[in-house]
Structures are given as C-alpha cells and as structure tokens.
Amino acid sequence: KMVLVKTLAEGLGFYYDKNGNAAVGEVGGYDMLITNADKGSLYYLNISVTKGEKPTKADFEGIKEYNKYLKTIGVNKKNYRVVFTLGGAFTKDGTVKRFQEILPALARFLQDRGFQNCSEISGVTQGVSTYFAQGVKIITKSEYAEIERGIQEKQDKIALRGSSSILLGTVGALLGAVVAGAVVLGISQLGYVSWFGGVVMGGLVMGGYKVFAGRIKKIGIIISAIIMLAAMYLINRLDWALMIQRYFTPDMFGMEGTKLSLSFTFKNVVAIVETANLQADYFRNLGLQLFFTFICGLVTSIGVVQWDKNSFLAYPIGEEKQDVQDAGLPYTDSFGDSEE
C-alpha cells in the first residue's frame, strides 16, 4: 500500500509522507492529501473546505458533472474535512493519469461553488498547511504549534517518571495479558487454536505497556515479548488442566472425591498427559500457541510500536505557509494548460 501511494505522489508531483502513507500537494489553491484504503486499490482523497460553515453532502450535488469518479463522498460533521473514496486504475500509470484528471476537476468545482481552503479543525482560511501531527492534518501553523506543545508536555511528563515508567508499563502489559489470556482460553476451550489469539495477545500486551508507561522503547518490547510468551505457556497449561479436570476422575490417581481440583491438574499437567500418552497433543498445541503468538503477536506489536512512534511526531509536510491568500483565485491547472 505504501508503494501505491508513493508512486502516485511521484506521478502527481506531490510530497510523500512515509509515516502517514500520504501523498500531499496543492491544486488550484486547495490542499489535497491522498491515502490508501485497506481494500485493494481504493484511495481516500481528503480536502478541507468552507463557505463560511462546515460543508455538507448537499454542497457537492452536481460534482459528478465535473468528473465521474467524484461520487462517493464522506463529510465529517465534527470538522471541515471532506473525503472522496476513489478506485485506482488497473495499472500504476493509469491510476496517476486518473488522478491527474480528478484533482483539477475537483479544484474547478470548489472554485465554482465558492469554497475556500481551510483548516479542518477551525475553518480558518489563512496560513493553512498540511502537517503530520498525530496523523496527517490540514491545519494552521498556530494549531500545529498547539499540538506540538501538547506532545512536548507529554514527553516531559514521561521523562519525569524515570525508571518508574518501566514498572508501570510492566503492570499494563500484565493486565493486557490477563484480558488477552481470557480470550485465548475461551477459544481454546472451544477446541480451536487460532491466529486471532496471537493478534489479541500482541495488541493488548503491547497496548497495555504503552498506555501505562506512556511510551514503548526497547526494554518495553523485550518485557512485553517475555510476558506474551509466558502468558501463552500458562494459558495452554490451564486449558489442558481444565480438560483433565473435565474428563479424568480422582480414582484414576488413587484419590477420593468426585472431581479433581484445578490446582492439582494444573500442577501435574505434564505428568498426567505423559501417563495418558497425550504428550504429543499437548506439546503440539503448545507449539502452535507459541507460534501464533510469535508471528501474529509480532505483526500486531509492530503496528503498536509504529502507533507509539507516530503519536510523538510533529512536522510540516512540504512548504509551510505563513500567511496565504484564500483559495478561489483564478484557477491554474497543475497538470495541463492554464485556464481562467
């Protein structure tokens, strides 16, 4: 997906932002940013515009007359951002050519309807640029500075915790392991070993560490990995202990009573499965649990680490405007001949 957006940015002459996986540029005085949707070659084309108030879907009636692909529109009622969902062409070059037609058409529509480029947060039309600030945003320099201050204040608070943040993170990871463990155990009790358990374990353990510690550094990754693998070992053992308790009786072990205690079965799982000649099944199940945790948990953990990294990044994408004129001036086609 990153390659698709990067190729599109290069073809359009836009800036490419790796952290947000976004192509960012200006067409006809309007800031436009393009990201890739989760499904195949779908793209999200984002703008932030105003006519003195937040835009509505009704404001975009007739836009298909400017370009047939501008038809799936999403309007966020909480801010000024408008999102178009667009399909790519069969080839990369075809997709670039399609966007070279779509973007000028959209700019012409916006100008014809009296829209101005604006901050997606406040609707302010002066000094608007595109920034990476806890995600890619079309905002003013002062709004960016406010977000940047918030990030710095958060970093300062984490720094003041010192080594205690590691302890807090460990507590968060353990709590995440308990919740994830309950999910994995529930799946196992149904007779399944699923990759989903590894995803849940990785996400909740790493997420728990981040929430409690504030940041995830190398020591946090190591601690979380140990907790994930240890938790999976204990969950597998508990799963088998419950199974033994369900199907084995005390008299099989020369004991009295009608039901084996969970503490006894948990403590003696390995010995019991060996006696019952089930050790191959036990260790195969354990191996699968650890494998799914390692692979799927690793993938999920990478996502959490990237989320952590991005939450502390703040920088302008492309040229940062100090005091720009409102959009709505005579339109210049960035991909072809000029027109008034």
DSSP for 117-171 reads E--TTT---SSEEEEEESSEEEEEHHHHHHHHHHHHHHHHHHHHHTTHHHHHHHH
Q: Does 270 have pLDDT greater than 60?
A: yes
pLDDT at 340: 36
Residue 257 scores a pLDDT above 60: yes
Give the whole-number percent of the chain exceeding pLDDT 70: 92
Look at residue 40 and tell me whether its pLDDT is greater than 80. Answer: no
Tell me what pLDDT residue 41 has.
77
* b/e sequence 320-332, b meaning 16+ C-beta within 10 Å: ebeebeebbeebe
pLDDT at 1: 57
What mean pLDDT is predicted for residues 114-143? 94
- The pLDDT score that the predictor gives to residue 279 is 86
What integer pLDDT is reported at residue 13 of this predicted model? 94
Q: What is the value of pTM for the model shown? A: 0.70
SS (H, E, C) 269-335: HHHHHHHCCCHHHHHHHHHHHHHHHHHHHHHHHHHHHHHHHHCCCEEECCCCCCCCCCCCCCCCCCC
Q: How far apart are CA 6 and CA 14, in angstroms?
A: 9
- DSSP-assigned letter for residue 208: H
The reported pLDDT for the residue numbered 94 is 92
- The Cα 294–Cα 174 span in angstroms is 17
User: CB-based contacts of 90: which residues, under 8 Å, 6+ apart?
Assistant: none
Position with higher pLDDT, 51 vs 303:
51
Running DSSP on this structure, what letter comes out for residue 21?
T
- Residue 204, both tokens: 């909740």
pLDDT higher than 80, residue 273 = yes
Burial label, 94 (beta-carbon count in 10 A; 0-12, 13-18, 19+): exposed
Q: What is the mean pLDDT of residues 127-150?
A: 93
Q: If you average pLDDT over every residue of the chain, what do you get?
A: 86
pLDDT for res 105: 96
Nearest to 244 by CA among 279, 285, 273: 273
Q: Is the pLDDT reported for residue 23 higher than 50?
A: yes
Please provide the size of the chain in residues.
Answer: 340
What is the reported pLDDT for 68?
92
pLDDT of residue 329: 40
Q: In this model, does residue 320 exceed pLDDT 60?
A: yes
Rounded mean pLDDT of 192-213? 84
Instruction: For residues 130-137, give the mean pLDDT.
Output: 92
Distance CA 154, CA 214 (A): 8
pLDDT of residue 163: 77
pLDDT of amino acid 322 = 62
Tell me what the mean pLDDT of segment 214-239 comes to.
Answer: 90
Place of tokens 């108030």: 53
The confidence score (pLDDT) of residue 328 equals: 43
pLDDT band at 338 (very low <50, low <70, confident <90, very high): very low
Q: What is the pLDDT of residue 267?
A: 92
- Assign 3-state DSSP to the chain and report helix, strand, coil percentages, each to 5: 55, 15, 30
* Residue reference for tokens 């502390």: 312
Using CA atoms, how far apart are residues 94 and 303, in angstroms rounded to an integer?
Answer: 31
Q: What mean pLDDT comes out for the span 269-287?
A: 89
The pLDDT, as a whole number, for residue 334 is 43
pLDDT of residue 96: 94
pLDDT confidence of residue 67: 93
| DSSP three-state, residue 90 | coil
- The pLDDT of 22-50, averaged and rounded, is 90
The model's confidence at residue 258, banded by pLDDT at 50, 70 and 90, is confident
